[in-house]
Chain A
Amino acid sequence: MTLFQARGLTRQYRLPKTHILRPAPVLTAVNNVSFDIHAGQTLGVVGESGSGKSTLARLAMAFEAPNEGQILFEDHDIHALGAGKLRQLRPAFQMIFQDPFSSLDPRRKVGWSIAEPLRAMQSSAGTRVNEAFEQVGLHAADAGKYPHEFSGGQRQRIAIARAIITRPKLLIADEAVSALDVSVQAQILNLLMDLQDTLGIGILFISHDLAVVASICDSLLVMQHGKALEYGPATDILNNPSHAYTKSLLLAAGDRV
Chain B
Amino acid sequence: MFEMQNMTVRFSIGEALRGVSLRIAPGDRLGIVGESGSGKSMLAACLMGMVPDAATIDGTLTIDGTNMTHASEAKWQTIRARRAAMIFQEPMSALNPLRRVGDTVAEPIYVHMGLNKAQARDRVLGLFEEVGIPDPASRFRMFPHELSGGQRQRVLIALALACDPQLLIADEPTTALDANIALKITDLLVHLSQSRNMALVFISHDLSAVARATTDITVMYGGDFVERGVTAEVLSNPMHPYTQGLLAARPSPRAVSRDANGSRRRLPTIPGTVPPLHKMARGCRFAGRCALERGECASVRPLPFGPRRITCHAVSEEMT
Contact = CB atoms under 8 A, between A and B. Distances in A.
Contacts of B178: 48-49, 208
A249 B246 contact: no
B257 A215 contact: yes
Nearest to B254: A238
A182 B246 contact: yes
Interface residues of B, number: 41
Nearest to A238: B254
B144 to A, nearest CB: 16
A28 interface: no
A197 interface: yes
Contacts of A181: 35-36, 205
Contacts of B19: none
A168 interface: no
A134 to B, nearest CB: 17
Interface residues of A, number: 42
Nearest to A46: B179
Contacts, number: 114
Nearest to B35: A181
Contacts of A257: 207-208, 211, 232, 235-236, 247
A42 B264 CA distance: 11
B250 A182 contact: yes
A216 interface: yes
B254 A182 contact: no
Interface in A147-166: 151-154
A239 B245 CA distance: 26
A65 interface: no
A184 B251 CA distance: 12
Contacts of A209: 179
Nearest to B274: A151
B252 A215 contact: yes
A218 B258 CA distance: 8
A77 to B, nearest CB: 30
A67 interface: no
A223 to B, nearest CB: 12
B267 interface: yes
30 contacts: A48-B179, A48-B180, A181-B35, A182-B207, A182-B250, A183-B245, A184-B35, A186-B250, A189-B267, A209-B179, A210-B253, A211-B253, A212-B251, A214-B253, A214-B255, A215-B251, A215-B265, A216-B264, A217-B257, A238-B253, A248-B180, A249-B179, A250-B253, A252-B179, A252-B180, A254-B252, A256-B252, A257-B207, A257-B232, A257-B235
